[in-house]
Amino acid sequence: MGDVDAELKILIIGDSNCGKSCLLMRFTDDTFDEHMGPTIGVDFKNKMLTLNGQQVKLTVWDTAGQDRFKTLTASYYRGAHGVILVYDVTRRATFEHIIPWLNEANVYCDDNVVKMLVANKIDEPRQVSTDEGRALAREKNMLFIECSAKTKVGVQQAFEELAQQVLDTPELYQSPSSGAGVDVSSSSSGQLNGDVCGC
C-alpha cells in the first residue's frame, strides 16, 4: 500500500458474451482464455498501473451479463470511479443494449463518474461500424475505444485512458463517498491533481 498513489474502482458492464471477462483477463494477465465460462455473479481483479510516474491500483469489477445473475449489481456501482460499457461488434443487439446499461449506470453512479464505451471483437466481421460507436459515445459523453481481447488491440489503452481520465477528474476524489477498497489519501490526491494537468 505504501507505494500506491491512488486506488481506482472500475466496473465493466454489458451484455452476456460480449467479452467483458476476456477483456479483463487480457488486461490483468495478458492471456486469452476461450474456455472461461460465463461469469457467475460478480468478480474482480486488481492491477497496478504506472501513470505519469504515479502508482495507480485499479480494482476492476466484472459482472455477469446474464439477467439471472443480476441481483448484486446495484450496489456494486457504489463508489465507482469509472465504468466500462462493452458491446460486441459482431452482434448488433449488444450495441443496442448499451442504452439500458448506461441508464442503469447513471442511476447508481456519481454524476461525474467517467464512462467509456468499448467495442470488442473487432477481429471478427462486424455488424456495428466504428462511426456508430463513436457517435453514441459522443452523444452520451463517454470515451470511446475499439479493441479485441483476442488480438490484444486497444485493451491496454482502454484501461489506461480511463484511469487517466479519472485522475483528471478531481471531483471524483473530493467526493466523500468511497466504496469498498477505494481510498485515496488527501495528500496523494493533491499531488495527483497537480501532476496530471500538464498532459
Interface residues toward other proteins, by CB under 8 A: 16-17, 34-46, 59, 66, 68-69, 71-72, 74-76, 78, 107-108, 110-111, 175-177, 180-181
Minimum distance from CB of 24 to other proteins (Å)? 10
Q: State residue 182 phi and psi, 5-degree precision.
A: -115, 115
Residue recorded with cell 465507482: 80
Minimum distance from CB of 77 to other proteins (Å)? 9
Distance of CA 7 to CAs 65, 77, 134, Å?
25, 16, 29
**Which x/- pattern, by CB under 6 A, does the window 27-66 give for ligand GTP?**
-------x-x-xx------------------------xxx
Show the cell assigned to 133: 460507436
Closer CB to ligand GTP, residue 91 or residue 115?
A: 91
> Cβ neighbours of residue 88 under 8 Å, at least 6 residues apart?
14, 15, 17, 18, 19, 94, 95, 120, 121
Task: Give the Cα separation of 140 and 177 in Å (integer).
Answer: 24
Q: How far is CA 168 from the centre of its chain?
A: 16
Minimum distance from CB of 11 to ligand GTP (Å)? 13
Report the partner that residue 148 touches, choosing among other proteins, ligand GTP, Mg ion, none (CB closer than 5 to 8 A by kind). Answer: ligand GTP
Asked if residue 42 lies in contact with residue 49, where contact means CB atoms within 8 angstroms, the answer is no
Contact call for residue 148 and ligand GTP (CB under 6 A): yes
Minimum distance from CB of 66 to other proteins (Å)? 6
Contact call for residue 104 and ligand GTP (CB under 6 A): no
Residues that bind ligand GTP (CB under 6 A): 16-22, 34, 36, 38-39, 64-66, 120-121, 123-124, 148-150
